[in-house]
Amino acid sequence: MMFRCLTPFGALLLFAGIPSASAAFFDVPDDHPYADAIHHLTRTGVVRGYENKSFQPQNAVTRAEFSTIVARMLYPREFTEGCLDTDPDASLYIPAMSFPDVPEDSWFAPFVCAAWANGVVSGYPDGTFRPEEGVNFAEAAKMLSIGYGLTGIALPDLGGRANAIWYLPYVRLLADLDAVPMAIEDVGRPLTRGEMAEILYRLRDFPKRIETVPELSRTYEELTHPIGWARYESEEHRFAIEYPDVWPEPHEVLRGVYDGHAPSLSSLWRIYLGPAPGACLGRGECVERDITIDGYDLSVLDRTLDGLETRESVTILSETETGQMYKVAYDEQDDTCISKAVIVLRPLRTSKYRNTTFLRIRMRCAADDSDRALTFRRILQSFEFLPLY
């Protein structure tokens, strides 16, 4: 794919002149991983569904769709509507766009024109645009980096072997903004409509952050130097989490413990993760593992949260709630180091009726070591609640 190198326009004009739209899609339930993104962008008129009230988040996004949505995000309506006007006296006149497969009367033509005029997209060597073809993440990263002004121009393509990694600067720009959904593991894979919505949702306040950016983002290092990750699913406790595949398999202790750290009560059960040597039989042999996941009865949640606020060794870092989970992150200091921990449960509005436990995920000494902190962050990013029976 080739791109024009024009100066980005209107990167601050988010949602200007965009009509509202319904956010009710039968295939995007509240616990869908991209529900918040899809509903938010639908309410603001940036994305729209199909006539049958579906959004089809799993479908690959086409070049026509991607150009349309980016144009709605970045450019005022009058610019988009006037983009095809070839009258030299028109106030928004630009040189005519001439893609033979983008008819002027097509629904996407004004949006393709707006994105093309600002260097976000261009055609192929044969002069076509190919509106029905998919967009992979590498291509999307380049389009968004240029469109949002993260880089003023398309960066040079050096050819040869360097051509294989032309996308790395753009991937880094999005990764630094925590804008890469965890589902994206291969930059060459077609981007889905759900992933597209999630990326744009995370960029919604750029360059001025109004809300905290979600933490569930692939890092640049993960995308460019992937390592193996194994998935652990707890059928009984209805959650899933990933861990480095060079670690032993997680081990559950059915009888919980109190380890002296917040919260100040015994858990119902405990699962150990981490590179512990030797056997792990659940009778003290596992305490050297760095990461523990504990389950607690929901009836003690208020007591636990109150204890975090009053305990001198605890520093609360954040408290957030999305459509998928409620989360309190904190650091805790003991005699040897500062550990990181997170309290997680299903959304507060549903937890007391649908689930009886909340979880604490803790990594020993993670706040004192950048490598440990990165590992803990990556593991937390993979955490998800499984649907309840």
Which pLDDT score is estimated for 16? 28
Summarize pLDDT for 264-307 with one digit per residue, the tens: 888 899 898 887 655 555 444 555 678 999 999 988 898 899 99
- Three-state DSSP state, 350: helix
Least confident of 87-96, 200-209, 229-238, 342-351: 87-96
- % of residues, the chain, pLDDT over 70: 76
Which pLDDT score is estimated for 59? 93
Give the model's confidence band at 9: pLDDT under 50 very low, under 70 low, under 90 confident, else very high: very low
Structure tokens at 224: 């460019």
Which pLDDT score is estimated for 344? 94
Residues 6 or more apart whose CB falls under 8 angstroms from that of 209 comprise: none
DSSP 8-state assignment for residue 61: P
Segment 152-180 mean pLDDT: 66
The pair phi, psi for residue 288, each rounded to 5°, is -80, -10
**Highest mean pLDDT of the ranges 147-151, 319-323, 339-343:** 339-343
The pair phi, psi for residue 368, each rounded to 5°, is -95, -10
- Whether 370 shows a pLDDT value over 50: the answer reads yes
Which pLDDT score is estimated for 294? 93
Burial of 210 (0-12, 13-18, 19+ CB in 10 A): exposed
- Whether 361 shows a pLDDT value over 70: the answer reads yes
Summarize pLDDT for 124-163 with one digit per residue, the tens: 888 899 999 999 999 999 899 888 887 654 554 444 333 4
Segment 60-67 mean pLDDT: 93
- Three-state DSSP state, 356: coil
Least confident of 80-84, 155-159, 360-364: 155-159
DSSP 8-state assignment for residue 308: H
Which pLDDT score is estimated for 350? 63
Summarize pLDDT for 204-255 with one digit per residue, the tens: 877 644 444 445 677 776 676 655 678 999 999 999 999 887 788 888 877 7
Q: CA 113, 116, 120, 124: dihedral to nearest 10 degrees?
A: 120
The DSSP secondary structure of 57-119, one letter per residue, reads: TTSBPBHHHHHHHHHHHHS-HHHHHHTT---TTSTT--PPP--TTS-TTSTTHHHHHHHHHTT
Q: How far apart are CA 287 and CA 268, in angstroms?
A: 16
Q: Is the pTM of this model over 0.85?
A: no
DSSP 8-state assignment for residue 297: E
Which pLDDT score is estimated for 18? 29
Chosen CATH of 229-385 out of 3.40.50, 2.40.50, 3.30.420, 3.40.1000 = 3.40.1000
- Three-state DSSP state, 72: helix
- Whether 366 shows a pLDDT value over 90: the answer reads no
Give the model's confidence band at 91: pLDDT under 50 very low, under 70 low, under 90 confident, else very high: low
365, 338 contact by CB (below 8 A): yes
First to last CA, the chain: 45
Which pLDDT score is estimated for 10? 30
- Three-state DSSP state, 161: helix
Segment 367-375 mean pLDDT: 77
Domain boundaries, the chain: 35-224, 229-385
When the pLDDT of each residue in the chain is averaged and rounded to a whole number, the result is: 78
Q: CA 384, 189, 211, 45: dihedral to nearest 10 degrees?
A: -110
Structure tokens at 222: 């993960």
